[in-house]
Structure 1
Amino acid sequence: MSCKPTITSNLVSREMTAEKLLGNPKYQGICYGGYRTNSRDIEPNVSEVKEDLKILAAIDIKIIRTYNLHREEIVNVLKAITELKKENPKFEMYVMLGVWIDCKNAWTEIAPIHDEESQRNAIEIQKAVELSNQYPEIIKIISVGNEAMVKWATSYYVTPAIILKWVNHLQELKKSEQLPKNLWITSSDNYLSWGGGEEQYHTEDLNSLIKAVDYISLHSYPIHDERYFPEIWGIKENEANLSDKMKIDAAMLRARDYAISQYNGVVKYMKSIGVDKPVHIGETGWTTTDNVYYGDKGSKAADEYKAAQYYELMREWSNKEKITCFYFEAFDENWKDSANPLGSENHFGLINLQSQAKYALWKNVDNGTFKGLTRNGKPITKSYNGVVNELWLDVKIPNSILKN
């Protein structure tokens, strides 16, 4: 399960490391998937990925988080970055490589066994090792598992011991010079999985994992949590006379503060076991459309105005605190809930599938950020044709009244 580093071109600087990237506001992060149809069987090709990366670079994104290690997409991403650097030596884009980890019998009709792992995990790890050695100028982080330990992932979650096993394996490969020594290893998981909440997660295996990773990558989704903890949402009694916009802005501030509290909870737990290392955000985001839990029939949280507010608030806070935030996500991907086109999972992107910048990026369209850039051959324009009043027709005020 090892692979000696190979000699590759010096097209991209080897001097940049994860330690230098993470926490540096000049190197913004984002979660990236380039799928353009409602099926992952249709992979984005190198040209399509290059289109996407140019768009992301224009808004100062320089590090992307990927998930699809077992698919052609990640190879195309690495090829695309290499080609873009060849075309423009000043082009910079780095990768946080996601390794999918799940348990025995995951995604089958047989009951999952959470303390045993899928045989596929070893193949995923080996692929990550091979790619990291082939592209050391680009891949700066390996993330072992994506929300792989959180217990609500009932179809596939694993115990921390399984993640720890593979993190330790990769760290040993670094020590024996079978992986680049500056490559950082982490796991990207819900704040609960990192000890930021319920005591059931506070185990010795988790403590060992926290000590083994180079940094902690946590996920926080206030838009999801407000369904279960409505006290963070709604309108307070003393806000009743505010304008609709001010009511919504106040709710969005509470959502941001909720995410910060989850971050602080993880930091607090980490320090309680005698560890002090970087903690960054592997995922957070806000969907713009939903016809189930978060739309008009639910909490009324999903729309472009609220999503823009959350994006700005999280970028502002994370930049100030020098925390890297891999915002979820760059582009809409409608394979995630192909049976329900209006489902929330399809609409977390900053740019939709019609090559329209959502409200969070309207100002970038105005100032010419995307001039000369296209997606699927289309220039980047504004959603709602740039008409604010039309956008606001889809913005709803939360129903619930909160006690002050």
Structure 2
Amino acid sequence: MNVNRSFKIGILLGQLLILGSCGNAPKEEEKLNQTKEINAVDILGNPDYQAISYGGYRGISREEQPTIAQLKEDMKIMAAMGIKVLRTYNVQPNLPHASNILAAIKELKNEDADFEMYVMLGAWIDCKNAWTGLEPDHNIESEANAGEIARAVALANKYPDIVKVIAVGNEAMVKWAASYYVQPAVVLKWVNHLQGLKKKGKLSKDLWITSSDNFASWGGGDYIYHTPDLTKLLKAVDYVSLHTYPMHDTHYNAVFWGTLSFEKSLTTHEKMDAAMGRARDYAKSQYRSVVEYMTVVGVDKPVHIGETGWASVSNGHFGPDGSRATDEYKSAKFYHLMRDWTNKEGISCFYFEAFDERWKDAANKLGSENHFGLFTLDGKAKYALWDQVDAGVFKGVTRGGKPITKTYNGDKKELMKDVLFPPLK
């Protein structure tokens, strides 16, 4: 063989080998990424891990527990729309909802190695005499709290590949929760307890601990919340999980809600879009108020949204005879505005909520608390998700054995008949 030709062939083979090795590199990197354990630090603030608050109850009472099969149906629906992190609320012994959710996710992971879902596990916290008919004592905690924490720990250890956060309490410190709220010292006690278990190796060191509460409870509101114990709590948690609900304030706060006089010439959509933009900005202001308070007390930690949402129906304060805030157009607008803002800013948003739940206001079918879902009870996608239905993301998934379809049969003109103008300011 000609030496020069042989040299050229050698160079060509070397180039091919280099190209081949470069082509394999991403696959090797991808393989490593797939085997890496995903933890809260990877999930929270990551727009690839969309979050939502989830209750799978389909009846008028929580005694009607959803089955594992029903929970798996819901997991598949949420996974189809890109949800990878769920928030639950309690681990009460007679309500196995949270433990059944974890079991359902485990089954789905066993059935499909690519199925991915994680949980922010809530432990309910009460004061003494909460829900008993006796006068609540907000300075003493319920004897039941210790059991809640113990069950949360047990589940976190049983499902370490799924449970990535434990939240101590849900709106447990805000003073308008008059039936059950506790002082920050109670929440602090249990947060410190869980952090101590992490240090002792009795909980994963990568498990994040927080409490999920109203923005005011985190120092963003009235000065009555600005206590030494709150500062200690802010320093003890791994991140802050705050709640913001502009919809609830539409009935009380005309500063941001309503149609401004100079907006009268706008189109129907423009008027409502302007009002909803102000609602989003109102949520932003509550978020900033917490961050600013944390700065004042010398705390620099992530702040994520543990709850926010917008109901689509109300026959009370937020309906036609009140602030005229609730319909599917406005709830969809708020959903997309909040997702756009939080995704851009690296804020996790556990949107409230995935599905309508009937038990929340069992005596009033049209009560707003029953209608915060992105899906109706029978699995119809509300206006916020119509584009996903059109894109076919729910193909092959069902709720109650029925395929996912649009509310109003997908007729926007019919939907708009139920849309209410915000009142003129």
Q: What band does the TM-score fall into relative to the shorter chain?
A: over 0.9
Q: Which residue of 2 aligns with 1:299?
A: 323
How many residue pairs match? The answer is 390
Q: Which residue of 2 aligns with 1:41?
A: 63
Is 1:221 paired with 2:245? yes
Is 1:308 paired with 2:332? yes
Contact 1:29–1:64 (Cα < 8 Å) also in 2: yes
Is 1:83 paired with 2:107? yes
Contact 1:193–1:201 (Cα < 8 Å) also in 2: yes
Alpha-carbon distance in 2 for matches of 1:305, 1:27 = 25
Alpha-carbon distance in 1 for matches of 2:348, 2:222 = 25
CA RMSD of aligned residues (A): 0.9
Q: How does 1:189-204 map to 2 (within 5 A)?
A: 189-204=213-228
**Could you list the runs of 5+ residues in structure 1 that have no partner in the other structure?**
1-11
Alpha-carbon distance in 1 for matches of 2:143, 2:189 = 14
Is 1:366 paired with 2:401? no
Q: Which residue of 1 aligns with 2:86?
A: 64
Alpha-carbon distance in 2 for matches of 1:83, 1:361 = 27
Alpha-carbon distance in 2 for matches of 1:112, 1:39 = 24
Question: Structure 1 residues 249 and 318, CA, compared in 2 at 3 Å: closer, same or farther?
Answer: same
Question: Identity over aligned residues, as a percent?
Answer: 61
Question: Structure 1 residues 90 and 310, CA, compared in 2 at 3 Å: closer, same or farther?
Answer: same
1:282 Cα offset (Å): 0.1
Alpha-carbon distance in 1 for matches of 2:364, 2:320 = 16
Q: How does 1:233-272 map to 2 (within 5 A)?
A: 233-272=257-296
**Tell me, what secondary structure is at the counterpart of 1:247?**
helix
**Tell me, what secondary structure is at the counterpart of 1:114?**
strand
Contact 1:14–1:136 (Cα < 8 Å) also in 2: no
Amino acid at match of 1:72: P
Alpha-carbon distance in 1 for matches of 2:227, 2:312 = 37
Alpha-carbon distance in 1 for matches of 2:358, 2:321 = 21
Q: Which residue of 2 aligns with 1:283?
A: 307
Alpha-carbon distance in 2 for matches of 1:27, 1:315 = 12
Is 1:274 paired with 2:291? no
Following superposition, which runs of at least 4 residues in structure 1 exceed 6 angstroms of deviation?
A: none
| 345, 361, 367: which one aligns with 1:337 | 361
1:73 Cα offset (Å): 1.1
Q: Which residue of 1 aligns with 2:154?
A: 130
Is 1:154 paired with 2:188? no
Alpha-carbon distance in 2 for matches of 1:139, 1:314 = 25
Contact 1:13–1:137 (Cα < 8 Å) also in 2: no
1:72 Cα offset (Å): 1.2
Alpha-carbon distance in 1 for matches of 2:244, 2:35 = 32
| 30, 37, 49: which one aligns with 2:52 | 30
Q: Which residue of 2 aligns with 1:21?
A: 43
Q: How does 1:346-385 map to 2 (within 5 A)?
A: 346-385=370-409
Higher helix share: 2
For the pair shown, the structure with the greater C-alpha radius of gyration is 2
1:400 Cα offset (Å): 3.1
TM-score, length-normalised on structure 2?
A: 0.91
Contact 1:99–1:145 (Cα < 8 Å) also in 2: yes
**Tell me, what secondary structure is at the counterpart of 1:381?**
coil
1:68 Cα offset (Å): 3.3
Amino acid at match of 1:44: P
Contact 1:233–1:400 (Cα < 8 Å) also in 2: no
**Could you list the runs of 5+ residues in structure 2 that have no partner in the other structure?**
1-33
Contact 2:90–2:148 (Cα < 8 Å) also in 1: no
Alpha-carbon distance in 2 for matches of 1:106, 1:80 = 31
Alpha-carbon distance in 2 for matches of 1:161, 1:275 = 18
Alpha-carbon distance in 2 for matches of 1:379, 1:235 = 38
TM-score, length-normalised on structure 1?
A: 0.95
Amino acid at match of 1:298: G
1:13 Cα offset (Å): 6.5
**Tell me, what secondary structure is at the counterpart of 1:360?**
helix
1:270 Cα offset (Å): 0.6
Alpha-carbon distance in 1 for matches of 2:392, 2:166 = 34
**Tell me, what secondary structure is at the counterpart of 2:139?**
strand
**Tell me, what secondary structure is at the counterpart of 1:232?**
coil
Alpha-carbon distance in 1 for matches of 2:261, 2:320 = 22
Amino acid at match of 1:93: M
